[in-house]
Structure 1
Amino acid sequence: MEKKILTSGACHLTISGIAYHTKRACDNCDRPIEDRVWFACAEGCEVDFCCQCHEHLQTLFETGDGQRAVWASRFAAQVAQRALQAPAEERQAFIDILAFDWPLQMFQDLVRALADVADAQVVHLQDGADMDVAADADFWHLVGFLQLLRCANQKPAKERRFGELMLRGPRVPESHFVLGGLDKCDAQAEWERWKRYKDHVRPPEEVVLQAEFQVSGAFALFLVQGPLVPLSFRERCLEADLEDRLVQVKRPVLSCQVPRRPPRSLRLGAAKALSRVDQLKRLEAHFTRERGRGLGVMREFLALAMEAFMSAKSGKNLEEGQALWDYDPNTRTFWFSELPAPLSAQCQSLFRACGVLLAQALLNGTRLQVSFPPLLYSLLLRHIGASAPRLGLTDLASLRPSLAKGLQELLQYEGSDVGEVFPLDWPRGHELCSSNRAEHVEAFVEWFFTEKFRSQLKPFLDGFKDVLHSCDFLQTLVNASQLEQILCGVEEPLDVQQLKVKARVEGFDHDFKEIFWSVLESLDDEQKRRFALFVSACDRRPPEGWQHFELQVQRNGEDDDRLPTAYTCFTLLLMPRYSSGEVFRERLLAAITETEGFGLS
């Protein structure tokens, strides 16, 4: 790394001191570099480190052998090239050996070594829109070799060896193959490359097993490499695709005004506003008698609207009667209630508005505080034309565990009176017999998910489809699990150490900053969850990690009697400079357990 010094340029004064406009961002912590001094790659690639990260990495690698690291990188590339140049039958035999004969620890070490080398090289790959990334054959041979290892990793989950009673499952988690360095690459440029080659793309597993492997433009795409690609990078590419489509259709933003309170008025106003969205168009909402505008307010509107929708009922003005959504405390998910037919037009309109709201959350990059079963995201993708896998007992078990267990017992039952022992309440229940058990269960599961709740499900799916039906990126490059994480984040306890990476704590002295983080670290998992919910309206981790939660903390006077306040649309926490850590902890717990967090004053 070479030391760089800003000799001229603009700067401005902040609470923390002078910030220089270097027009650089640190490739380690992702923060803008605002010091006059930073470090850049000596080989000319666009990798920059701030002073703090450079010092940390220097300490981390000061005992390392740089020449050995370079040798390991070159050796890995040569091994990868040799493996991929071998005849197809030898590659297949190699996969079989790795899958069933290699010791697990050796396999894990090989995966880790190859992934680490590829991860280190990807940040040096020039990935601008005008660059030919396929020219770096060494890197793409490493990627191809990782795909061979993925084939070996999955084989025990698909094939059973002689003498084995059941499938083994993958050898290592798919997360071992993820190349986190891709998050440093240009998502816009990658999306443009994908758009250029998308009609020629083939599954990477198929490419590395073909008769003669070649690094083609259609293979040299990050996006088609499956689990090797971090979800956060895929999400940024999706944002680029959606923005491009919004520009192409040349449709103006649809503005609306809704009341913040009471929930009934907010629900009706939000449903009316969302009912006007019947095509790819971004909604822009603001609250009655409030000046706030922009993305932050829109995100708050979506969060409040979703909360209001999930508490709606089937009666007049969606207030009285049966709840529209059924919450299961065991699976902690919402599903459609079994409502009597016919469903009112008002209820159908609200279900459609829910689907539109999910689509608008994608367009606005908003996380929603709602928990649907994973199968609902499969249905959403299938409804817009994606080739989602057929739903089965595993999906039903995520929603109705006892029902799925009963159907599994039905499949294993060998008596001739199966129809009497396992009566199924559905239109074709009388057709069940011992000879058609498997086909009958398969048909029942399909009916349960597509017909039993059709009057509620169809308007919900239609609302999502009306906005995003033309998004072929969503149809081909995002699966149900990824869509759920993009919309709702990842259910994982708050990691305070990761949160600190990109957090900004301004206006406090060093001692109180230490108090702030120590108090936050001392909270239990439930309290940390409430803290995340209080400041962001969502308690789930962003797909790219807690370091991208981007918490902002600002000083707001000195008063031990006041509670912290939060503006969820900006992930902003305002708080006084309390006299002690004990007072701060007491006030923080009061705020996160007794309030909602939406602009509390």
Structure 2
Amino acid sequence: MIRPEYGMFMYPEEASYMWFPARPKFEKKRYFFFGVLCGLSLFNCNVANIPFPLALFKKLLDQTPSLEDLKELSPVLGKSLQTLLDDRSDNFGEEFYIHFNVHWDKDDVDLIPNGSCIIVDQTNKRDYVSKYVDYIFNISIKAVYEEFQRGFYKVCDKEIIEFFYPEELKDVITGNTDYDWETFEKNAHYEQGYDNSHPTIVMFWKALHKLTLEEKKKFLVFLTGTDRIQVKGLKNMKITFCCPENLNEKDPIRAQTCFSALYLPKYSTMERVEEALQLAINNNRGFG
């Protein structure tokens, strides 16, 4: 549902956060059901790997998104509007020559009546930026966002949600990125003949710590189904190492994502451990 090619959400810049479309391709009820899914994720304490910006969580808490939030959603646009505000030159109009309209989600819209005929200058630029931000975060998405919000609060008690700050609500729903790998290793649990001093385990941790951050995040996807972690961080996540008798040196590493269990054969060389780990993270799908 959240993939760019699906079209339910828009991605203002490549690899950026996603946002509600100004021109939705789908009926509003889909956004209601998506809100229900997000609410259920929170209700069941499951991390949802959903790239919403902080602005969404502000809106859920009845707070108003700002230019800073636009910088997060669309850094290029946000910074260009900030440059406009910071400019104090006398030839402002000649430098920018922009009008009271907005190009967003493949559409041109006047921010005020006859906005395409009104030039932005030093006297009205703050009003222009304010209306621009309001259009993106509120006016353009009013119908679909209201359905999403209705679905979310169909599941969650708003009186309880209001105890959160936006940043906290975002972390609780989408997880955080506090990757403390040393603590992750210390909290590991070992079964079926493994312990923290077993040669294969020692080689495994050495190989994992050598990976780049992006590769380590791929390993989390392989192990748990997501590269996001719960609000308390990796210190609250325990990996369980298992080695059933039927596993041998030629078998790949497998994971049972529901239980963060890693089925690690008793590899005898560092080369084989690294090879198996690379195979796992580049085909990052465990099972169940």
Q: Which bin holds the TM-score, normalised by the shorter protein?
A: 0.7 to 0.9
Provide Cα deviations, 1:95-120, integer angstroms capped at 9, x if missing partner.
xxxxxxxxxxxxxxxxxxxxxxxxxx
Map of 1:379 onto structure 2: 59
Secondary structure of the corresponding residue to residue 193 of structure 2: coil
CA distance in 1, matches of 2:238, 2:47: 13
Write out aligned runs for 1:58-73 (5 A).
Answer: none
CA distance in 2, matches of 1:478, 1:396: 22
Map of 1:465 onto structure 2: 153
What is the letter of the counterpart of residue 336 of structure 1? F
> Structure 1 residues 312 and 329 mapped into 2: Cα distance closer, same or farther (>3 Å)?
closer
Shift of 1:418: 7.9
Of 46, 71, 76, which residue of structure 2 is paired with 1:402? 76
Of 32, 37, 46, which residue of structure 2 is paired with 1:357? 37
- Any conservation in 2 of the 1:335–1:372 contact (CA below 8 Å)? yes
Mind listing any 5+ residue stretches in structure 2 that lack a counterpart? 103-108
Asked if residue 422 in structure 1 is aligned to residue 98 in structure 2, the reply is: yes
Map of 1:568 onto structure 2: 257
Write out aligned runs for 1:272-311 (5 A).
Answer: 309-311=1-3
> Structure 1 residues 438 and 462 mapped into 2: Cα distance closer, same or farther (>3 Å)?
same
CA distance in 2, matches of 1:595, 1:435: 54
Secondary structure of the corresponding residue to residue 404 of structure 1: helix
CA distance in 1, matches of 2:3, 2:83: 36
Asked if residue 496 in structure 1 is aligned to residue 181 in structure 2, the reply is: yes
- Any conservation in 1 of the 2:16–2:74 contact (CA below 8 Å)? no
- Any conservation in 1 of the 2:20–2:144 contact (CA below 8 Å)? yes
Map of 1:367 onto structure 2: 47
CA distance in 2, matches of 1:419, 1:329: 25
Write out aligned runs for 1:402-551 (5 A).
Answer: 402-411=76-85, 412=87, 414-415=90-91, 417=93, 421-423=97-99, 424-425=101-102, 426-427=109-110, 428=112, 429=115, 430=117, 434-468=122-156, 470-475=157-162, 477-492=163-178, 494-509=179-194, 510-551=198-239
Give the TM-score taking structure 2 as reference length.
0.82
CA distance in 2, matches of 1:532, 1:506: 20
Write out aligned runs for 1:235-250 (5 A).
Answer: none
> Structure 1 residues 519 and 409 mapped into 2: Cα distance closer, same or farther (>3 Å)?
closer
Secondary structure of the corresponding residue to residue 190 of structure 2: strand
- Any conservation in 1 of the 2:219–2:284 contact (CA below 8 Å)? no
CA distance in 2, matches of 1:418, 1:362: 50
CA distance in 2, matches of 1:563, 1:433: 64
Asked if residue 598 in structure 1 is aligned to residue 287 in structure 2, the reply is: yes
- Any conservation in 2 of the 1:369–1:537 contact (CA below 8 Å)? no
CA distance in 2, matches of 1:311, 1:403: 22
- Any conservation in 2 of the 1:396–1:445 contact (CA below 8 Å)? yes
> Structure 1 residues 410 and 418 mapped into 2: Cα distance closer, same or farther (>3 Å)?
farther
Shift of 1:506: 1.3
What is the letter of the counterpart of residue 421 of structure 1? Y
- Any conservation in 1 of the 2:53–2:73 contact (CA below 8 Å)? yes
Provide Cα deviations, 1:205-256, integer angstroms capped at 9, x if missing partner.
xxxxxxxxxxxxxxxxxxxxxxxxxxxxxxxxxxxxxxxxxxxxxxxxxxxx
CA distance in 2, matches of 1:542, 1:324: 26
Secondary structure of the corresponding residue to residue 573 of structure 1: strand
What is the letter of the counterpart of residue 339 of structure 1? R
Asked if residue 334 in structure 1 is aligned to residue 22 in structure 2, the reply is: no
Secondary structure of the corresponding residue to residue 147 of structure 2: helix
Secondary structure of the corresponding residue to residue 10 of structure 2: strand
CA distance in 1, matches of 2:184, 2:266: 21
CA distance in 2, matches of 1:410, 1:459: 34
CA distance in 1, matches of 2:81, 2:221: 38
What is the letter of the counterpart of residue 502 of structure 1? N
Shift of 1:405: 2.7
Shift of 1:577: 1.9
Shift of 1:367: 0.8
- Any conservation in 2 of the 1:331–1:399 contact (CA below 8 Å)? no
What is the letter of the counterpart of residue 561 of structure 1? K
Write out aligned runs for 1:67-466 (5 A).
Answer: 309-311=1-3, 323-327=7-11, 332-339=16-23, 343-345=25-27, 348-382=28-62, 388=63, 390-411=64-85, 412=87, 414-415=90-91, 417=93, 421-423=97-99, 424-425=101-102, 426-427=109-110, 428=112, 429=115, 430=117, 434-466=122-154
Identity rate of aligned residues, in percent? 25
Map of 1:61 onto structure 2: none
What is the letter of the counterpart of residue 335 of structure 1? W
Secondary structure of the corresponding residue to residue 327 of structure 1: coil
Shift of 1:528: 1.0
CA distance in 1, matches of 2:254, 2:192: 16
CA distance in 2, matches of 1:398, 1:330: 13
> Structure 1 residues 419 and 511 mapped into 2: Cα distance closer, same or farther (>3 Å)?
closer
- Any conservation in 2 of the 1:568–1:598 contact (CA below 8 Å)? yes
Shift of 1:330: 5.3
Shift of 1:525: 1.7
> Structure 1 residues 416 and 573 mapped into 2: Cα distance closer, same or farther (>3 Å)?
closer
What is the letter of the counterpart of residue 491 of structure 1? T
CA distance in 1, matches of 2:4, 2:15: 21
- Any conservation in 2 of the 1:505–1:552 contact (CA below 8 Å)? yes
Provide Cα deviations, 1:385-404, integer angstroms capped at 9, x if missing partner.
xxx2x322111111122322
Aligned-pair Cα RMSD in Å: 2.6
What is the letter of the counterpart of residue 58 of structure 2? S
CA distance in 2, matches of 1:354, 1:399: 20
Aligned residues: 270
CA distance in 1, matches of 2:92, 2:270: 71
Shift of 1:598: 3.3
Shift of 1:331: 5.7
